Structure 1
């Protein structure tokens, strides 16, 4: 298959419902995503905007699929870096599966473009964001702050 793909899998000691809430609640998002948050009504076909703390738009998306608390699919495009915006839309799939007292979160971020700079960029961002998410849900504190990255 041609294109670029980044896959990240982590296990988090939480429930599928609590993880879903953490992924979709803008106030909780700000805590682990370095102040960034989402604006949407989380309905299929709705626009999704990822915003910086100052309100500038970082990325835009469309909600493609929702199966709470199991699966979320977003169409995603960078808006603040012209060279990444020019690459067009990517697809980001969040899959949540219970495993014992934890959940497995798999994020697959892909683009039909070979050697996509955008996928290279998210491959550096997702590990930081998801490490913070895991730590926040399990311990109540994040691992990294914006000054750390």
Structure 2
């Protein structure tokens, strides 16, 4: 299987601690993602991506590495594939302070070239992360784009 990677880099006027909280606190993700990311974010723990309105689980995975507030690596899968780790993709969040801003790099890899997952995340990550940036910098997320 040929694999693809998706990398998105943005610069946000905030601190690493505030950005970390915004990425993983369900009350924050609800505002800009319309979903909750639920876990204790410790290495080895499971996580779920749930709709905030009805609790439907949309994505599942496991935390591979957690180094608050700088780096988080997790697996990412459809709930039907929860027990099939060979079908899991991987997402790495890297948070680097640069002067008075933070560089956020999201790398989503282990994606099957041409897959529906690659198409979905290539459209979704820029929308979600732009909305996050807007929320942190101007206090309000973007209008729902999806």
Pairwise CA RMSD = 1.8
5 Å-filtered alignment, 1:57-136, equals 57-79=57-79, 88-111=87-110, 113-136=112-135
Q: Does 1:25 align with 2:21?
A: no
Quick check: 1:128–1:144 contact (8 Å CA) kept in 2? no
C-alpha separation in 1, matches of 2:113 and 2:122: 15
Following superposition, the deviation at residue 24 of structure 1 comes to 1.4
CA contact under 8 A between 2:35 and 2:49: conserved in structure 1? yes
Relative to the length of structure 2, the TM-score reads 0.90
**Ranges in structure 1 where 5+ consecutive residues have no aligned partner:** none
Q: Given that residues 111 and 119 in structure 1 are in contact (C-alpha distance below 8 angstroms), is that contact kept between their aligned partners in structure 2? A: no
Question: Which consecutive unaligned segments of at least 5 residues does structure 2 have?
Answer: none
Deviation at 1:112, TM superposition (A): 5.1
Q: Does the Cα contact within 8 Å between 1:60 and 1:76 map onto a contact in 2? A: yes
Q: How far did 1:113 drift?
A: 2.7
- Structure-1-length-normalised TM-score: 0.88
| In 2: Cα distance, 1:129 partner to 1:112 partner | 19
Residues 19-52 of structure 1: per-residue CA shift (max 9 Å, x gap): 011111111110010x200111111111100001
